[in-house]
């Protein structure tokens, strides 16, 4: 495993934004993951874990520590479940489950994350969240010690889990599923894709929903009602298709996205007395 220096984070985030990571590596197994942690410890570096980088806003000046991008990619199918390693892209997992007649995760159709990042974010859609399907999580602490964490100890809440504190690195997750019929599962996936493509801007780089939905309301509805749909700052724009998405029109900087976020927050607070909280995570 190579540890690369000055790797542009824009190459590893769906926003296509971010300066260089001082050090960057992509471990493919547990032993490489442990080596990466050892390197960080010896060099006294801060560590940030990234998955598919689909919920991240990486700073323009980059990251001064070690960015670890786990690429562990095994999938182990069971009769009514699956164990998938952290680096497996969620959409690939979903296609594999459909092919093998396993149902229960179709609601994550269209989410461009990896297994580790999606569990860390407790990604979801509507009332469904990936954490509900988790049985247990295998993780390493910064010392490289392996732990098994049962679902009830994962601290799952709305886009929340204990794994967001950068103290535990998910290596593998077991999900509980049900048996289903491949054509029916595939048709549910197709339907969900159609709904997403109609309502969300998949044609431009973004990091998905920028703000969490406040209470029973929707951040997108509030930002749109505040008249901010289509607003641009630098190379970033509040999407015309979905106001809770900020899109990169080509040359956006993290500072452009942050300015738009501040504008949205301020305007929504002033007009509706509602405080918006970010869903995207800053890598800085």
Ligand X SMILES: Cc1cc2nc3c(=O)[nH]c(=O)nc-3n(C[C@H](O)[C@H](O)[C@H](O)COP(=O)(O)OP(=O)(O)OC[C@H]3O[C@@H](n4cnc5c(N)ncnc54)[C@H](O)[C@@H]3O)c2cc1C
Per CB under 6 A, residues contacting ligand X are 14, 48-56, 70, 86, 111-114, 116-118, 120-121, 123-125, 163-164, 166, 169-170, 200, 202, 206-208, 281
CA 107 to chain centre: 15
Closest to ligand X by CB, 164 vs 263, is 164
Please, are residues 137 and 144 in contact by the beta-carbon 8 Å criterion? no
Closest to ligand X by CB, 49 vs 102, is 49
Annotated catalytic residue, options 7, 106, 159, 239: 159
Tokens of 115: 């297994």
Closest to ligand X by CB, 253 vs 267, is 253
Cα dihedral across residues 31, 35, 36, 41: positive or negative:
positive
Tokens of 271: 């007009």
Closest to ligand X by CB, 104 vs 267, is 104
Does the annotation mark 279 as catalytic? yes
Other C-beta atoms within 10 Å of 275: how many? 10
User: What is the nearest approach in angstroms of ligand X to the Cβ of residue 155?
Assistant: 13
Give CA–CA dist 237/256, Å, rounded: 9
Nearest CA to 123 out of 178, 176, 69, 55 is that of: 55
Closest to ligand X by CB, 47 vs 177, is 47
User: What is the nearest approach in angstroms of ligand X to the Cβ of residue 86?
Assistant: 4
User: What is the nearest approach in angstroms of ligand X to the Cβ of residue 202?
Assistant: 6
What DSSP assignment string belongs to 242-281?
-TTBEEE-SS--HHHHHHHHHHHHHHHHHHH-----B-SE
User: What is the nearest approach in angstroms of ligand X to the Cβ of residue 44?
Assistant: 20
Helices 90-99, 182-199: crossing angle, 10 deg rounding: 150
Residue pointed to by tokens 């442990």:
34
Annotated catalytic residue, options 10, 206, 209, 239: 209
Annotated catalytic residue, options 7, 85, 106, 279: 279
User: What is the nearest approach in angstroms of ligand X to the Cβ of residue 272?
Assistant: 23
Catalytic residue IDs: 159, 209, 279
């Amino acid at each position: 495993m190579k540890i690369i220096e000055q790797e542009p984070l824009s190459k590893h985030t769906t926003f296509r934004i971010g300066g260089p990571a001082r050090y960057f590596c992509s471990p493919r197994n547990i032993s490489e993951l442990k080596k990466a942690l050892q390197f960080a410890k010896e060099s006294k570096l801060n560590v940030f874990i990234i998955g598919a980088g689909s919920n991240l806003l990486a700073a323009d000046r980059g990251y001064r520590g070690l960015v670890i991008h786990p690429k562990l990619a095994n999938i182990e199918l069971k009769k009514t479940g699956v164990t998938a390693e952290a680096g497996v892209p969620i959409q690939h997992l979903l296609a594999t489950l459909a092919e093998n007649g396993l149902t229960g995760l179709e609601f994550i159709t269209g989410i461009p994350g990896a297994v580790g990042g999606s569990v860390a974010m407790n990604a979801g859609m509507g009332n469904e969240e990936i954490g509900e399907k988790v049985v247990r999580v295998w993780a390493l602490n910064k010392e490289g010690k392996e732990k098994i964490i049962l679902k009830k100890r994962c601290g799952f809440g709305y886009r929340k889990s204990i794994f967001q504190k950068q103290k535990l690195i998910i290596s593998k997750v077991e999900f509980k599923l049900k048996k289903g019929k491949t054509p029916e599962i595939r048709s549910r996936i197709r339907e969900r894709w159609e709904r997403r493509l109609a309502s969300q801007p998949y044609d431009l780089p973004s990091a998905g929903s920028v703000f969490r939905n406040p209470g029973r309301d929707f951040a997108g509805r509030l930002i749109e009602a505040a008249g901010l749909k289509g607003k641009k700052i630098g190379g970033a724009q509040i999407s015309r298709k979905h106001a809770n998405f900020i899109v990169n029109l080509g040359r956006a900087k993290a500072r452009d996205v942050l300015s738009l976020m501040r504008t949205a927050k301020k305007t929504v607070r002033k007009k509706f007395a509602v405080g918006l909280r970010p869903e995207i995570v800053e890598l800085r």
